[in-house]
Amino acid sequence: MTMNVLGYATHSPTDNLTPYRFERRKPRADDVVIDILYCGVCHSDIHSARNDWRSAHYPLVPGHEIIGRVISVGSDVTRFKAGDHVGVGCMVDSCQHCSACEQGLEQYCKEGSTYTYNSIDRHDHMPTYGGYSEKIVVSDKFVLKIPDGLDLAGAAPLLCAGITTWSPLRHWKVGKGSKVGVVGLGGLGHMALKLGKALGAEMTLFTRSLSKLQDAHRLGAHNIVLSTDAKQMATASGQLDLIIDTVSYVHDVNLYVPTLATGGTLVLLGYLGDLDPMLNSAPLVMGRKSVAGSLIGGIAETQEMLDYCGQHGITSDIEIIKIQDIDAAYERMLKSDVKYRFVIDMASLLTTSLSIQIIMP
């Protein structure tokens, strides 16, 4: 039988999120049924809910930074058992046989990953709904183990913000002696600083506001460069092996390319779209520099990141909210009024559930 679940959904780009009951699929033999405890709030949730990417299917239940407790497992599942603390990130399936999937890069699946919400299940063709809800059913291949002792609420954003920054740090082999820049101090940027420092890199934050000085140092920045100051930018010229650009809107990346060392790479994480102004190729050619992009990470890489965070006690800086306050949280996020990630305590959904039961005939 399918599973009737309560969540919060939006029904159009201009609607608030409101209580919504929907059906989860009947668990399959390889499925894990999870009671959701916490769900991080990602900027992608806003983009999806408000159809900024012109791909939303309504009703839409956002949420892909999910921490929960296993309720039950299918007959083929051996890695998990009832009571385990687990995570679910941005994906819940992929084709499992293309060249990307065979390399553990399910995020680049040639047939398209099945996303945790606003996607279609590739087996039964039911819509996927996200973590702003009571429970979720996920194939065990896409369920992640949460290390013992890791704060559960603080671990939720690791499933997106954490892995999105960890993946390029690992791909470009950041370690002791590396020099890494971070553009933007938000949900992604603060995780890039924490993870880069833990890996042994010298971290530089580019910012337009000196008000972030104290926080940046606390989070792991060794150097802070005011990007609006030409003299400070010139001083940073030719220094960095890697720049992680987390800015989610149109901005001039040409400003940061000169700070790359020969052979360095600027990797775009936050912005999807045309660069404006156009990218100047001259410093790229003259210094064998690169501008690249990166998505999230594969499942094995995400588990590696979680295990590393467990060993080093790394979690996100969060503010816990109730599900009833999600629309206000969206507005605050758009004003960058959060340090540095909202996380929904899904126990607050019980209040909604009780009120619904009271008014039901």
pLDDT bucket at 353, cuts 50 / 70 / 90: low
pLDDT for position 230: 95
**pLDDT tens profile 76-90:** 999 999 999 999 999
pLDDT for position 360: 38
Instruction: State the CB neighbour count (10 A cutoff) for residue 128.
Output: 23
Mean pLDDT, rounded, for 26-51: 97
pLDDT for position 168: 98
> What count of Cα atoms within 13 Å lies in the side-chain half-sphere of residue 148?
1
Rounded to whole angstroms, the Cα distance separating 120 from 188 reads 27
Would you tell me the crossing angle of helices 187-198 and 299-312 to the nearest 10 degrees?
70
**pLDDT tens profile 128-179:** 999 999 999 999 999 999 999 999 999 999 999 999 999 999 999 999 999 9
Under CATH, to which class is 3-160+317-359 assigned? alpha beta
pLDDT for position 209: 84
pLDDT for position 359: 40
E strands, the chain, are 3-9, 18-24, 31-41, 66-73, 85-88, 91-93, 114-115, 135-139, 144-145, 179-183, 202-207, 223-226, 240-245, 260-268, 290-293, 318-322, 341-345
pLDDT for position 289: 98
Mean pLDDT, rounded, for 334-339: 93
Per mean pLDDT, which range of 89-98, 131-140, 190-199, 245-254 is the poorest?
Answer: 245-254
Rounded to whole angstroms, the Cα distance separating 288 from 290 reads 7
Fold of 161-293: Rossmann fold (3.40.50)
Mean pLDDT, rounded, for 29-52: 97
**pLDDT tens profile 275-320:** 888 999 999 999 999 999 999 999 999 999 999 999 999 999 999 9
Where in the chain is CATH 3.40.50.720? 161-293
Nearest Cα residue to 255 out of 228, 292, 273, 282: 228
CA dist 39 → 62, 67, 156, 287, 358 (Å): 10, 6, 6, 43, 26
- The pTM of this model reads 0.94
Rounded to whole angstroms, the Cα distance separating 19 from 348 reads 12
pLDDT bucket at 361, cuts 50 / 70 / 90: very low
Contacts of 71 (CB under 8 A, 6+ apart): 33, 34, 35, 82, 135
Per mean pLDDT, which range of 144-148, 174-178, 200-204, 353-357 is the poorest?
Answer: 353-357
**pLDDT tens profile 209-245:** 888 889 999 999 999 999 999 999 999 999 999 999 9
CB 227 within 8 A of CB 233: yes
Share of the chain above pLDDT 90, in %: 92
Where in the chain is CATH 3.90.180.10? 3-160+317-359
pLDDT higher than threshold 80 for residue 357: no
Rounded to whole angstroms, the Cα distance separating 343 from 318 reads 6
Round the average pLDDT of the chain to a whole number and report it: 95
Distance in Å from the first CA to the final CA of the chain: 24
pLDDT for position 356: 53
Q: What are phi and psi of 85, to 5 degrees?
A: -85, 130
Q: Which residue has the higher pLDDT, 352 or 88?
A: 88
CB 66 within 8 A of CB 87: yes
